[in-house]
Structure 1
Amino acid sequence: MKSNHILYVILFLVLISCTREENPKEQFLKWVQKGKITDKIQCKTDANITYCVFIPTDYDVSKTYPAIYAFDPHGSGRIPVNLMKNIADSLDYIIIGSNNSRNGLRQEEINGIVNTLFIDTQTKLAIDPSRIYMVGFSGGARVACMIAQAKPGIKGVIACSAGFQPTKKTLGFQYIGIAGTQDMNYLEMRQLNLLMDSVGIQNQLIVFNGKHRWPNESTVGEAIEMLTIDAARASNRIEDKNLATKFAKENLSRIEQLIDSKSTDSLALALDIAKRTLQTVDGLIPTDELKLTIEQLAKNQVHQLGLT
């Protein structure tokens, strides 16, 4: 009897061990380091499809995390992952950069890459299915928008330096455009912003001083904070309201610096920042100061136009 009892215990422990080893999310931690970038993970069903990944330092497979899928026009997953890793670590995001999606591929090739990427990452990573985002630059931005329009449940898109053609009056996802003032696609991004405003599609445009390139870390970080604050509307957590307060305070400080410079371009930029900050935090924190700032900047703009 005693030997049988020992045998049952051994079998039980073996079964537990096998069950644990079969958990792909726990297995995945053997191949990556928390808080570090892993450049190349092969998809299980197609080893030719790979991705770069960053998981936050506090990552725990028993929880779920928001995930950002990033698309570079030249198929470099590391560029956007490296760009976003610091803000991702501070806000507990998973970042996944495709190493295969690139300019020049046929639509069906892109679809195959994206479908394989989604299946593999959502099997191996503890992703919150209600908070999946797309980010892309140039041709990668068009891919990000295409995915968001085709796949229900995408929470938001950050599209850098390239737009898209809205197919509905409501997008179903949050849209943030980013463009440099000297970007060859700046006019396209500005016109898309005005078009969506005119038909009542909620969107935001962040403009930075630069050419046709991935924006810098702080600009992308601002966009990710905006996505995070928007998601906070469904919760009532103190830390979410604290992020909204921090976001508004930092942007008010930027606005003050722009106002002090007193140039026409700086005042126009200050008004843009004030408007998108209000749109981002309204309903979460008091916004009287922001509204007053917008009113004063708008009056100054009208006054300057009257003088020209």
Structure 2
Amino acid sequence: MDVTVEQSQPTTESILARKHTDSEASEESLTALREALQHFCPKELRGKAWKLLLRVNRVSASTYISLVEKGSSSLDDKIRQDTFRTMTTDTNFIEHVSEDMLVRLLNAFVWNKEGNNGNEELDTVTYVQGMNILAAPFLMTMPEMEAFFSFSILVRKWCPLYVHPTMKGVHCGLKLLDICLLQLDPVLYGFLYGKNITARTYAFASVMTLSACTPPSSELLYLWDFMFSYGLHLNILFIIAQLALIRTELLHSDHPANLLRVLPPLRARKIVHLTKSLCKKISDDLYDKLVRHTYDESVAEELGILSSTTNEQKDGIEELPDFMKDDNE
């Protein structure tokens, strides 16, 4: 019986091949796609699936080519300080993505902002450290031009506060991670807090990069399938799920900070399974804040997070792993 039911479920390939004549049918297919992606996504279809889930409605070769032809942007030096150390230990990434691809995409992103002609949506978002890590998975799953537009939609529409110059969305995410951990596992939260360990200590990079800083990329891509299906806010719960997987080791360690210095390699299916359970245990009010914190500035006010100062940004950078730190800091 189980096999029959499984076979009757539409596959990712069959869903992506559907033709639609109205928005209602399109939304029904998106719902089916979200379900299908929890089971399996052929790597050759992942790029198309991500574009649909992120609602990337426009891809223009002429636009991207014109931006690339502008060459180095005003932030080219800053971009290159980051790109050469992107996922340097991940063979899957190295085999599919060159540094030149990352440099072109990110410079084009900056040029697109600088030539926005007063478009308020583009005004507040330009290159910040960590964008190289966010862009990398797109270049692994789709052609460079499509990766540019998909990455742009991700940061400008779905998580603009994460790439705001003050990183206010990231700071909100860290605060929410602590609050969620306290609500979901007060014993672990109390143990870590007693050791002076909060989310800022171990999760800054994981929040900022939507977990893309943790290898392997093959597991990350599955996590992003789920995250793009149901919301970027789930990354906060991904991190808590990772803590749950090493909970025993943490509680029995005299120096848990050492265990958290680098989170263990991703185990995507276990993380997703735990995340589904965690979602059911969070209060409605807290879950609402989780959903909104990547794009709604009022969440920062509700959490009592003031506009980030230069010093606060410095503190955040200090929590990054060494390979992500600016050599000039």
Shorter-chain TM-score tier: under 0.3
Higher helix share: 2
Bigger Rg, which one: 1
What TM-score do the two structures reach when normalised by structure 2? 0.22
Higher relative contact order (CA 8 A, sep 6+): 2
